[in-house]
Structure 1
Amino acid sequence: MTDDNVSRLLQELQITNQERYELVQAARSAIYSVVPDASERGLYGGFMFSGKAQFCGVFAYREHVSVEFGRGCDLDDPHGVLEGSGKLRRHIKLFSAADITGKFLELYVDAACRNSQCK
């Protein structure tokens, strides 16, 4: 389930940065492949995903797309791809669609979902 803000954000992104739009769409697809019944809201200028609880967000920046985990500090990082040194939040930067598999995005999304008990 998505809200109206998701459609608006996607339209704006497609107009302003086609490359980032395509990468956001690929990241969204990867997230839905792990949590097919996730809800999605347009919030904070990005796309927030939740089940029973919020588990990640996708944000487009000028040079990359960031998949952010609000409780990323609780995630194991066997592949060393999580970035961030704040108290809680961690993120994975995607520069191309190849990073989705190369940085094991689906593994981290699954872990974030399990940790937040989103299912």
Structure 2
Amino acid sequence: MTIDRIPQLLEDIRLLDQERFELVQVLREIILALGPSVSEEVKYGGILFSVGKPFCGIFSYAKHVSLEFGAGASLEDSFGVLEGTGKLRRHIKLSSARDIVAKHVRDYLLLAFSAASEP
């Protein structure tokens, strides 16, 4: 039997910073609403989301929440908000729930979800 570590991670985030906890929860809701096949698991200190293969992760840091894309370098960055210069990974730093709209998070999530859903 596997232990669901997500509630414990969320509680740890909530105890450290209520605003970051709420931001993580809003992001989780958006990601899980992308489709019934989206799964989540705790890995690398954050929550990774998969649809057959991983497509994003949420990581809570001291002053921000990072939405990470393992194959972010291949995403079209129409709004110029993706950060990072590595071969594959890109991320979006979020400081408040307002950043979700301001940084077009849904658009990037849809791109990453679609790319991971392709056979």
TM norm structure 1 = 0.91
**Aligned-CA RMSD value:** 1.5
- AA aligned opposite 2:104: F
Q: Which runs of 4+ in 1 moved over 4 A?
A: none
Q: Which runs of 5+ in 1 are unaligned?
A: none
- AA aligned opposite 1:75: L
Task: Report if aligned partners of 2:6, 2:41 keep a CA contact under 8 Å in 1.
Answer: yes
Answer yes or no: is 1:7 the counterpart of 2:7. Answer: yes
Answer yes or no: is 1:99 the counterpart of 2:99. Answer: yes
CA shift digits 1:62-114 (9 cap, x unpaired): 11100000000100000001000011100011111011111111111110111
Task: Report if aligned partners of 1:82, 1:91 keep a CA contact under 8 Å in 2.
Answer: yes
State the Cα distance separating 1:118 from its structure 2 match: 6.3
Q: Identity, % of aligned pairs?
A: 47
Look up the SS of the partner of 2:5 in the other structure.
helix
TM norm structure 2 = 0.91
- Paired residue for 2:41? 41
Distance in 2, Cα, partners of 1:35 & 1:46 = 20
